[in-house]
Structure 1
Amino acid sequence: MNESNQRIDLAIKEVVDIPGLGISFGSKHLRFLYPEFCPVLDVNTVKLGYEQTPQGYQKFAQDCRLIANTLTERGTPNPFPERPKKWFVSDIDMALFARLSGWK
């Protein structure tokens, strides 16, 4: 998967076709495989208004990508030590999860 052929909605559809995997658990698998493109859509992030559907997941991934690209372009340091100058979708997902969970 690369930035030019992202079809996150199709990827999540394939994953949730596996018995027992819903959007939340399926998105965790995608995030593990492709952290640069795939966030986790779980009970915390649905509070932001995203539906737990392939289309909702696609929209969440696009919004996280927009934020990640903006932070990278502005030169905002990423606290993740392995890539201090580049933001991944998973970095945005983690920050949102922490904030929604009340972490300080």
Structure 2
Amino acid sequence: MPVQIYEIPELYKRYRWCNRHGLWGYGADKFPHFEWINSLERRFSRIERAPSEAPIYLFREMIHWGGSQNGVLENFELQLGTYNFANSLEKVRSALDDPETAIAAALDIPGIGLSYASKLLRFLKPEIYGVLDRKILDFLKRSQTPFRKVRPSSKSSMVQGYAEFLELLSQLKTELEASQIWRPNESDDRLAWRAADVEMALFQRAVESPRRGTAHAVRLQE
């Protein structure tokens, strides 16, 4: 395992993400409030009741939340053209109970790669999805976790790699529940872990884990 389950609660509490937050009026996402994350989760959960033009604006905001590394937002806008984003989003939403179909549909959205496709799934259904980005992929490789090589030029490779990642998150969730290790919160309630919460802990471990050279670091289209 890339992380011991007893470490996960403290890693989750140390999670901190801040990129374009100030431009949108948010402070850093950190325990216990995760203000921008929670706001995006709430609005994505109500997306089917939103006005027809709202989803694309919410998607753009999600890209800003992620930092839009390597010009992701610009690539998305340039390739958008007459592309029907609403139809594509509906394909993703209708496939959420089938992770491989869902990530494949998300990868069809123009201008984005695995990192932002998985971000979309993470906000649509955080119970079973998490973000798989370059930091986590590189960390999994450095931790010698048995994990297939993800090739950003191959859609099938990204789909299969992401499915394996979800299996890892699910396994960690199961072990946490079996050990009665609950998700930290202000009220000390016995909150179950979601896949997105476990992924946040893995992200923090990836940030804190020292890199041993970069010659073979995984490069992933955002």
TM-score, length of structure 2 as denominator length: 0.41
- 1:53-88 Cα shifts (integer Å, max 9, x gaps): 010000000110110121012210211458633111
The answer to whether residue 166 in structure 2 is matched with residue 64 in structure 1 is no
The answer to whether residue 125 in structure 2 is matched with residue 38 in structure 1 is no
After alignment, is 68-77 or 43-52 more displaced? Answer: 43-52
State the alpha-carbon separation in 2 of the partners of residues 86 and 59 from structure 1: 22
Match of 2:159 among 26, 51, 54: 54
Percentage identity across aligned positions?
33
State the alpha-carbon separation in 1 of the partners of residues 185 and 122 from structure 2: 16
State the alpha-carbon separation in 1 of the partners of residues 186 and 179 from structure 2: 18
Please say if residues 75 and 85 of structure 1, whose CA atoms lie closer than 8 Å, have aligned partners that are also in contact: no
| CA gap 1:81/1:13 in 2 versus in 1, 3 angstroms | farther
Paired positions, count: 99
- 1:10-47 Cα shifts (integer Å, max 9, x gaps): 11100110111211001001000110111101011111
State the alpha-carbon separation in 2 of the partners of residues 68 and 81 from structure 1: 20
Give the alignment of 1:73-92 within 5 angstroms.
73-81=178-186, 84-92=190-198
State the alpha-carbon separation in 2 of the partners of residues 6 and 76 from structure 1: 26
Please say if residues 72 and 85 of structure 1, whose CA atoms lie closer than 8 Å, have aligned partners that are also in contact: no
Aligned amino acid, residue 106 of structure 2: V
Aligned to 2:25: none
Q: CA deviation at 1:7?
A: 2.4
Match of 1:94 among 200, 203, 219: 200
| SS of residue matched to 1:101 | helix
Gaps of 5+ in 2: 1-95, 142-146, 153-157, 210-222
After alignment, is 46-55 or 6-15 more displaced? Answer: 46-55
Which one has a bigger Cα radius of gyration? 2
Please say if residues 184 and 191 of structure 2, whose CA atoms lie closer than 8 Å, have aligned partners that are also in contact: no
